[in-house]
Amino acid sequence: MVAEQEKPASAEPPPVSRRWIILAFLFAITVVNFIDRQTVSVLAPVIREAFHLSNSAYGRIVAAFQFGMMTGELPMGWIMDRWGCRVGLSAAVLLWSAATGSQAFVRTGAQLGGTRFWMGTTECGNYSGGIKVATQMFPKRERTLAIGIFNSGSIVGAVLAPPLIVFLYRHYGFRAAFVVPAILGSLWALVWWLTYRAAPAKTSESAEAQVLLSSLLRQSSTWAVMLCRFLVGPVVQFYWYWLPSYLYSVRHLTLFQIGALSWIPFFLGGMGGLAGGWAAGSLQARGASAYDVRRITMIGSGVLCVASLAVPFVASVTVSLLTISVAIFGHNFLSANMYGVASGFSGLLFPLLTGVLVDRISYTPVFLLAAVMPLAGTFALLWFGKLSREGSLGDRTDAVQAG
């Protein structure tokens, strides 16, 4: 196998029609990716009963997936760089589709955790490969929009997952809910292999990013950004992986009702990403500095996340879903102005903590943590980082993502 031929960074991007077709492929596989991820969470009430799993055991299964994401990130990135994204994305999608399909045949929680770990080691290739393709295919003036469209597949996938998975469960059994997404992913990989050809590589930009990252790690402000990511990242993951279980065990919704209603917070919350981008652009147009844009948008969105605190105390299911929607809206609003918010290590720890707290106390302390962590992360970034008002916040936040 030979790596894709690299060309100078100055090479012209592919024709307009071709690069937008490729972007549509990236969007589609991101949708499938998030349907795969949420199959276990949507079916958690059924799976936990079938396998006799406690909340702590379910938390370990969620953590296994997150650990897989951490473990596979560097190898997947290396494969994309060494063999190119035609090979890399095809292999990643086939492997995680195989892992998804294999979950239809597990018989114990340990087996499910093992397949989720396997799935995580390759699903991380979706982002490393997708961002690499978008960077190569699109000129700088279109790149932010392209990456935003590609990332929005996560919101669409989160919205589609509950009704689709419950439909498959009701008509064909819960094991079919793993097989169908696996087939979709496999078909995508085949079409991608036949369609995609390497774009010009940005080798000089990659070298600059590596040098920049090494210098950033020597600065305290970089560690403030990482602390922010550590605190912010697990919050939306909590809603992805635990909302159906909460609605089933605490709000006493049926699985059919969960499929009909649990997509709503992700849909309304998804608007937060669009609102966050619009708000940042509007403030910049009014002459606000990069620091002030991030300060205003991040603190404001962090305050919205505090809505999680009310969730355990409202009596109405409708009000609780709307309150959760406000919290996810705030989180996505924050994410639009703090790229790369997910942190692998905290994403591994938080599900373990959630399972223990729910088993020993209730969901209330978890919602409390989800309420305060985004705002705490924002304060850590703005104050502990000691960043100047001349734009270093935005520069370093973006630079950490680039690295």
Amino acid 361: pLDDT: 95
Mean pLDDT value of segment 78-82: 89
Average pLDDT value for the chain: 83
Higher pLDDT, 386 or 147: 147
Amino acid 265: pLDDT: 92
Band of pLDDT at residue 256, cut at 50, 70 and 90: very high
Mean pLDDT lowest among 22-26, 68-72, 279-283, 356-360: 279-283
Mean pLDDT value of segment 232-255: 92
Amino acid 206: pLDDT: 46
Amino acid 179: pLDDT: 94
Amino acid 306: pLDDT: 93
Amino acid 331: pLDDT: 85
Task: Using a pLDDT cut of 90, give the percent of the chain over it.
Answer: 49
Amino acid 168: pLDDT: 94
Mean pLDDT value of segment 119-137: 89
Band of pLDDT at residue 336, cut at 50, 70 and 90: low
Tens-place pLDDT, residues 176-226: 999 999 999 999 999 999 988 865 555 444 444 444 556 655 666 667 777
Mean pLDDT value of segment 345-358: 88
Q: How far is CA 53 from CA 84, 102, 228, 384, 392, in A?
A: 41, 19, 32, 41, 47
- Domains and their CATH numbers in the chain: 11-201 (1.20.1250.20), 202-403 (1.20.1250)
Residue 401 has pLDDT above 60, yes or no: no
Amino acid 98: pLDDT: 96
Residue 5 has pLDDT above 60, yes or no: no
Tens-place pLDDT, residues 132-180: 898 888 887 777 778 778 888 888 999 999 999 999 999 998 889 999 9
Higher pLDDT, 60 or 284: 60
Mean pLDDT value of segment 317-340: 82
Mean pLDDT lowest among 8-12, 81-85, 151-155, 249-253: 8-12
Residue 106 has pLDDT above 80, yes or no: yes
Amino acid 114: pLDDT: 95
Mean pLDDT lowest among 117-121, 122-126, 380-384: 380-384
Amino acid 218: pLDDT: 61
